[in-house]
Structure 1
Amino acid sequence: MDIGAKGYVLKENAVTDIVNCITEVQNDKYYISPLIADYLENRLNRKKNTSSPSINDLTKTERKILKLISQDKTSRLIAEELFVSVKTVENHRNNISKKLNLQGSHSLVKYAIQNKNLL
């Protein structure tokens, strides 16, 4: 369509699609064979569903903990600052890692530091 075409018909469906295509193009519209349109829509939806996780996927508390991690604070220090148990902080750290698809505690710290400006 970027090169000026107003219609796209698959040769497999040319007999059934050609009349519809001509009608749409005559009405100054675009036409794409339904099979191609369905394929493109499915592909677009798949990309949306597999988009990389972001900080926006985290709860307010998880973002707060991630910010404290970016400040090089340990779980113990974070727990003291937030008046919660160390186990609670560790659970949050695990949930954050799962939501962001991170493996290992070092990757969480690295992610927090790299995205410090977003917190």
Structure 2
Amino acid sequence: MIRFYLIDDHPAIRKGIQSMIQNIPEFSLVGEASSAEEAIADFSFKKIDILISDLVLPGQNGLVAFEKLKVIQPHAKVVFLTMMKDWDFVKKAYLSGAYGYIPKDSDTEYIETSIREIISGKKIFPEEILSILPIGSEWEEIRSKLQDLSKREREILELIAKGNLNREIAEKLGISIRTVEGHRSNLIEKLSLNSAQSLVRLAAKLFG
């Protein structure tokens, strides 16, 4: 039995996905929520195999729920069912370890087929994203390492990608320059890089 959890603030969308899940014998809906905050409160009490979530939610976004679920139930796969076409945001979802992005206006057959492929381990993203994403075994290894970074390390990596210097990063995050330097050193080590320049190049490729 594949256990699903659904997050969407539109009751009609939740009802449609719920109906699809309930019509498939090997699928089971174990919970649903209208916000990330509501869902996160459930994550410690319900076993989840697949989280289906919108990216845009009232309050915290779907990526926040995703990050929390990864900590509590690391085996769970996450697919975003959304109308958002902010490719930088969708790219961030991919690099965080999401398994799929499915447009909300997709027909039920496509959604079911995509979910079955995701269950089998395949990642489902539109061509517009795949054309700009780092793909291949080398990048998959880096993407895996990215998931081991702390929230602060990811923030600093994204700021590096935007061309910020240590002083600017320190001012924006309210931390000391020495702390930023320490995080940079940790990033170089965790991402198996050999220099500060290689860190800047990688950050630009990932988040530039």
- Bin for the TM-score computed over the shorter chain: 0.5 to 0.7
Q: Structure 1 counterpart of 2:187, which letter? A: I
Q: For 2:165, which of 57, 69, 74 is the aligned residue?
A: 74
Query: 1:9-24, aligned counterparts within 5 Å?
Result: none
Corresponding residue for residue 59 of structure 1: 150
Q: 1:87 aligns with which of 166, 178, 181?
A: 178
1:102 is aligned to 2:205: no
Counterpart CA distance in 1 for 2:179 and 2:195 is 18
Q: Deviations over 1:4-63 (max 9, x none)?
A: xxxxxxxxxxxxxxxxxxxxxxxxxxxxxxxxxxxxxxxxxxxxxxx8342111000000
Unaligned runs of 5+ in 2: 1-139
Q: Provide the identity percentage.
A: 42
Deviations 1:63-99 (A, max 9, x none): 0000000000001100011111100000000001100
SS in 2 for 1:77: helix
TM superposition outliers: structure 1 runs of 4+ over 3 Å: none
**Corresponding pairs, count:** 67
CA distance in 2, matches of 1:97, 1:57: 13
Max Rg structure: 1
- SS at structure 1 position matched to 2:154: helix
Given the two structures, how large is their TM-score scaled by the length of structure 1? Answer: 0.53
Q: TM-score, normalised by structure 2?
A: 0.31
Residue deviations 1:92-112 (CA, integer Å, cap 9, x gap): 000011000011110000010
CA RMSD of aligned residues (A): 1.4
The letter for the 2-side match of 1:60 is K
Structure 1: state its 5+ residue gaps: 1-50
CA distance in 2, matches of 1:94, 1:76: 15
Q: Distance in 1 between matches of 2:146 and 2:165?
A: 20
Name whichever structure is richer in strand by fraction. Answer: 2
